[in-house]
Structure 1
């Protein structure tokens, strides 16, 4: 019996080893990535509150909060933003004078151990990803496009090649204007695809589920590198959601980006000022036809709650937006079906901020609706609608983006394909607003909004 048990155990180990090897060698089919985020991703990103200086314990604290307070509402991604591989970065602007980079022998960035202690002994983000995964959440990171200048200068080898080195695949064309860490990767050169394959193989081994890649879309749309990245993700054996950044993503690249990324920024960074919200709403007008399962136009991170603890814009503060403006931001992000990536420090949330993230009816609309369309946007008035194909309910968002208080916004119910009497519910408060017919109108304060559910019935 002892010998039989030993043989059985050895066989099981062998089967598991073969299964693991098979999983790591999986190559996904073209377009399969669109099944990885059939609803818009919900999560947290460290940028708005920690800039390039976030530390492991802070990531863990936000993951703890999400698991306890938000996971049951669908929030799941925990994302470490920019420059996690620099030991001595600083808030309020990057340290580009004397940054201490951490790289492995193949020129791939590694987490700075003084900020991420679990990365010691070459572990990378394995342990931090495992910490997040154990809470039933998913783990993400940020990178810059391109190849480290340090790797090029040292002529470091590219993993998976027969002697190709970093200095053989780089270009000095179209470099990032605001951060000088990397060179462009020349997609035409042998070893370019292998370089991207090597970093995504590493991220898959770490357990990365989400990656935000910067300097891909604006001011230049880097189509060649986006294709290298898409190929590398599809070959890495792990489903990694791809977010391209920043905006403004050029609209003439809409078909390309929607066929290579799960989400893409429509706009540059959105901070807690009213002009950022109105600019976003204006730029979004052309993107409605591209709101589709698996590929999402992205409104950027949600600048609510406590911001800039060690951030890039302003001092440590609670969001500068008024409550009406916060409702407007969350209503627009939600009915537009943008990914919802919270930027504030989650453990610092007050009750009001938490309420904006946990409204079941609003999140149901965000998750289940379709056919999002702009009814009108003019003279400080905006109306957006969508439908829930499961329930037959219609959603309507009205916005007074002007400085005029008491502005009346009207919608003809026939324009929503609603004939007869319609029951109206305020989605944020749950208040029943009675039965309407023909026209629905609301008076809204300056910078205020309303979000409604409409259903046929007496």
Structure 2
């Protein structure tokens, strides 16, 4: 008998449309100034971090963003000092060469430069009634002086009246200035449910610059507006800061940068936000505090769990540590190609076990492998964490690889367990036994192999013609006669069901293939059949004038 596969039964929810600015198809990777540099950035510090990103080899692994966060601005008693058009003025004592020169330095190293802003218009711009660049409008035309925005530095940011065309023109002028400086990534902080108009304005402004600028929102965005954040931005912070603000320096700066409770709090957040992550838009769980050893406030086990969870959740990997003082243990963590691949596979994991200190998360990658993470989130005592393959999404034996060590753990029959120290994780790649047949390698009638949508396995997928009778035919080999589970992976970017008949050596069944939300979102349709020993013909044929769905592959278990 061939082992049968039982897939996890989940309702197929139509995902929200992602930002179509073409950026962040995979989560961003790089470094941000806030955690370590905090309130005292200057151009020499930022250059030193950029240098270290390259010399450490992290840039070669994909960590390419160098993001300047808050406190680069100049303030007086009324808030932000502004330029001639009412935009924040850069503190020339900290950045005597200017932001463009700093961005040029970063770009010369093959890296990308990130910048920071919050919504609104500065009080000083309104008091001086600064002109809006390229228009006849002035600051007092567009400011609502009865309301202020959240701001963490100089405060005194008035809200904008977006009913006035000068408001969008003001944001456009600011975005144009940033584009002219060479900004590649923009974090807009202080965003919440009351700032949707501001986020929309900045999205429009960044697009009209003509420069590709990765658009990130911060922080603690409400999940009630998740569809809005996904439509407008490339990432969004789901919680407050991961920093503990418990260091010995001013305002809690310095080491430790964080603690385990701040990291663990992201587990519940990631479980709630998981459905909203995908190519073009990612749930951001804040900075990755790995690089400086135990002094960041986490043990080595906790740091590995920290990176494992960010990788499983497909969060942006933006380091917050001092890259000029990397430890060998932490550098090895950050340069682990297997962990980076888990983060960059474009899939956010689901939590399937949540029992006391034990948690298990799983995701299925486009190639059909499952990635499973087991955690002991406690702070004392070992714990044995277990999961069955049916909980993961299949039955039957599977080959297991430890992704932190790279070592094979052999074939595991039906379940997996690990006894973990407090704060420890076990991350494994699980490859179910079976065979995969790529649709693009099958016989195709009235259709073609294409690769113009993301997320497919192999070299492409089959796009059948929109006619009844178009088909894809697989030749499936079985070592012995018996029952098998066949799983067709498909995408249907329409709202109309596209049924097909499945013919297996003369036996015919009919399957529905409902819409998956878009052509980049793939789903599985599984069915049980009898196979003969040797070669078997499996043909999937469209039954309506709409044709069938796009077909990626056929799995046989």
TM over 0.5: yes
* Residue 42 (structure 2) aligned to one of 42, 55, 70: 55
Question: What is the aligned partner in structure 1 of residue 165 from structure 2?
Answer: 190
Give the conservation status (yes or no) of the 8 Å contact 1:153–1:167: no
CA distance in 2, matches of 1:258, 1:100: 32
Give the conservation status (yes or no) of the 8 Å contact 2:133–2:170: yes
Relative to 1, partners in 2 of residues 1:63 and 1:177: Cα closer, same or farther, differing over 3 Å?
closer
Structure 1 residues 121-168: Cα deviation after superposition (integer angstroms, max 9, x where no partner): xxxx21111111111111011112111111111111111221333464
Confirm whether residue 358 of structure 1 aligns to residue 331 of structure 2: no
Shift in Å, 1:370:
2.4
Give the conservation status (yes or no) of the 8 Å contact 1:291–1:372: no
Question: What is the aligned partner in structure 2 of residue 159 from structure 1?
Answer: 133
CA distance in 1, matches of 2:80, 2:92: 11
Any unmatched runs of 5+ in structure 2?
A: 1-16, 244-257, 435-557
Q: Secondary structure at the match of 1:118?
A: coil
* Residue 243 (structure 1) aligned to one of 216, 220, 224: 216
Q: Larger radius of gyration, structure 1 or 2?
A: 2
Give the conservation status (yes or no) of the 8 Å contact 1:371–1:387: no
Question: What is the aligned partner in structure 1 of residue 318 from structure 2?
Answer: 341
Relative to 1, partners in 2 of residues 1:321 and 1:107: Cα closer, same or farther, differing over 3 Å?
same
TM-score scaled to structure 2, two decimals?
A: 0.69
Shift in Å, 1:416:
2.5
Any unmatched runs of 5+ in structure 1?
A: 1-29, 88-96, 120-124, 308-316
CA RMSD of aligned residues (A): 2.2
Structure 1 residues 172-229: Cα deviation after superposition (integer angstroms, max 9, x where no partner): 3253264414222222233111110110011111110001111112xx4411111111
Q: Map residues 35-434 of structure 1 onto 2, 5 A cutoff.
A: 35-68=22-55, 69-86=57-74, 98=77, 101-119=80-98, 125-166=99-140, 168-176=142-150, 178-179=152-153, 180-217=155-192, 220-247=193-220, 249-271=221-243, 272-306=258-292, 318-370=295-347, 372-390=349-367, 392-434=368-410
Structure 1 residues 293-321: Cα deviation after superposition (integer angstroms, max 9, x where no partner): 010010011223349xxxxxxxxx93011
The number of residues matched between the two structures is 402
Shift in Å, 1:277:
1.5
Question: What is the aligned partner in structure 2 of residue 455 from structure 1?
Answer: 431
Shift in Å, 1:333:
0.5
Q: Secondary structure at the match of 1:382?
A: strand
CA distance in 1, matches of 2:148, 2:271: 29
TM-score scaled to structure 1, two decimals?
A: 0.83
Give the conservation status (yes or no) of the 8 Å contact 2:66–2:112: yes
Relative to 1, partners in 2 of residues 1:371 and 1:144: Cα closer, same or farther, differing over 3 Å?
closer
Indicate the structure with greater strand content: 2
CA distance in 1, matches of 2:352, 2:21: 28
